[in-house]
Structure formats: structure tokens, C-alpha cells
């Protein structure tokens, strides 16, 4: 779906549809704190007790994953404009110590669709949105059927903001697109960002990224492919 403009109080926002991007040169509202920001982890007191020599080392276990809520099932009165993309470039990445089979949104059309219309976000998968340059970004949950987590990243790979994003009530047949879009919550980057990582809901609690943290991915290579 092509981008278009909508009006918001005190800011002109250039909107792009879907569970994904609402790019803006105006910062997000400051009086409403973004939902689910993960605080910095406090220092741990003390040290772990030594393991007796006779105790065998327990086998390594996989990180626990949060149980996801069932996806929203649209009713006959709901309208979902986004059609899931199945042709996105894919790559396996290692993010914060875990592997993710990742889809990339390099152009405006794929950034507009994002996770829109998808009925699942499997564990071990991710989606990365790549913009041509770092700007102030706002993302929304338009046409989203599942909850998800967001990590905003600047041009140098540093985290600028993190959010736990919840699905919202879908547009109904009697509701205009303008009215629907005007009620969607905006998740902001807080400072200029060039990349947005979307992960299955519960990933932030497990991975514990922090604002200002450097994420070791090949950001320069990704940026070269942005359109």
C-alpha cells in the first residue's frame, strides 16, 4: 500500500500502512510514556555459591519463551487491508546471543506492509525494517493480528528505544481509514533511528536489551540495500 499523509495535532506525519511504520520528522508525544519500555537491569548483589566438585554440570537449557496469545481472528465486520508478504529477503542472524530467521523490509512497499495481516509470529523469527537514513520514526499496529516487540536502532547500531506493542481493535466496515488511523497508538524512536527490529511478543523480557546498547549486526550492509 502506498504512503499517504494524515493529520495529527501539532505534527504533520507521513503515514505508511500496516503493523509497521509511521515515519515522522516530529517526535512522538512526550506526555504518554511508551508502553513496555524495559528498564536497565540492576547490578546483582553478591556472587553465586561455588558448585561442589562432585556435582555434575547441568546440561545447557534453551532460553524460556513466553507463551503467546492467540492471534486476533477478524470478524465479518472487520477490515484488514494489509496482505502478508511472502517474498521478503531472508537471513539468519544472531541477536543478543540468540539465532533468528529474519525477514528484511528494504523498500517502501515492504515497510508499509510489515507484519500486517499475519496470524502468527513464530518464536525464533524476526523482521528488520531498513530505512535509507536515520530519521525520527513512529510505528503503529495497523492491521496487526498479533502482539510483538520493537527495538529501534540508530545508524551506528545503538538502541534508541524499545517497546512491547499490543494489537489494537481492527477497523470496522463502518469506520473510515482516517478515523481508524487517528486512534492508533504511536511507538516512537525517541531519537533518529534507521532500523527497527520486530520480534515475537515476550522477546524483550528474555533478551533484556537496553537503550544505548550496541547491537552487533552488519548494519552498513543492510543500509546499502535500503530504498
pLDDT of 20 reads: 57
Q: Could you give the percent of the chain with pLDDT greater than 90?
A: 69
Indicate the pTM of the whole model: 0.75
Least confident segment among 6-20, 22-36, 209-223:
6-20
Distance CA 139, CA 185 (A): 8
> Binning pLDDT at 50, 70 and 90, where does residue 111 land?
very high
pLDDT of 16 reads: 46
pLDDT of 19 reads: 64
Q: 73, 82, 80: which is closest to 173 by C-alpha?
A: 80
Q: Which fold does the domain 13-29+91-227 belong to in CATH?
A: Jelly Rolls (2.60.120)
pLDDT greater at residue 154 or residue 56: 154
pLDDT of 69 reads: 80
Mean pLDDT, residues 5-28 taken together = 44
> Does 97 score more than 80 pLDDT?
yes
pLDDT of 22 reads: 59
> Does 202 score more than 90 pLDDT?
yes
Distance CA 118, CA 128 (A): 16
Instruction: Quote the mean pLDDT of the chain.
Output: 81
Contacts of 210 (CB under 8 A, 6+ apart): 38, 40, 41, 159
Distance CA 192, CA 179 (A): 28
Contacts of 168 (CB under 8 A, 6+ apart): 141, 144, 183, 184, 185
> Binning pLDDT at 50, 70 and 90, where does residue 24 land?
very low
Q: What is the pLDDT of residues 142-184, one digit of tens each?
A: 999 999 999 999 999 999 999 999 999 999 999 999 999 999 9
Q: Are 104 and 113 in contact (CB under 8 A)?
A: no
> Binning pLDDT at 50, 70 and 90, where does residue 65 land?
low
Mean pLDDT, residues 191-218 taken together = 98
> Binning pLDDT at 50, 70 and 90, where does residue 86 land?
very high
Amino acid at each position: 500500500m502506498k504512503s499517504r499523509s494524515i493529520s495529527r495535532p501539532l505534527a504533520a506525519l507521513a503515514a505508511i500502512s500496516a503493523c509497521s511504520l509511521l515515519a515522522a520528522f516530529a517526535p512522538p508525544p512526550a506526555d504518554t510514556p511508551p508502553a513496555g519500555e524495559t528498564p536497565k537491569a540492576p547490578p546483582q548483589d553478591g556472587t553465586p555459591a561455588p558448585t561442589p566438585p562432585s556435582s555434575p554440570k547441568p546440561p545447557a537449557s534453551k532460553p524460556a519463551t513466553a507463551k503467546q496469545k492467540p492471534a486476533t481472528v477478524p470478524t465479518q465486520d472487520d477490515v484488514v487491508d494489509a496482505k502478508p508478504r511472502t517474498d521478503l529477503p531472508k537471513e539468519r542472524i544472531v541477536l543478543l546471543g540468540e539465532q533468528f530467521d529474519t525477514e528484511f523490509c528494504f523498500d517502501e512497499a515492504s515497510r508499509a506492509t510489515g507484519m500486517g495481516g499475519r496470524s502468527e509470529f513464530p518464536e525464533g523469527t524476526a523482521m528488520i525494517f531498513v530505512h535509507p537514513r536515520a530519521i525520527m520514526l513512529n510505528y503503529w499496529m495497523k492491521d496487526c493480528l498479533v502482539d510483538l516487540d520493537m527495538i529501534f536502532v540508530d545508524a551506528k547500531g545503538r538502541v534508541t528505544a524499545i517497546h512491547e506493542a499490543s494489537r489494537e481493535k481492527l477497523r470496522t466496515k463502518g469506520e473510515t481509514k482516517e478515523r481508524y488511523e487517528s486512534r492508533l497508538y504511536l511507538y516512537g524512536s525517541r531519537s533518529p533511528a534507521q532500523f527497527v527490529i520486530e520480534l515475537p511478543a515476550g522477546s524483550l523480557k528474555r533478551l533484556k536489551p537496553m537503550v544505548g546498547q550496541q547491537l552487533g549486526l552488519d548494519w552498513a550492509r543492510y543500509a546499502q540495500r535500503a530504498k
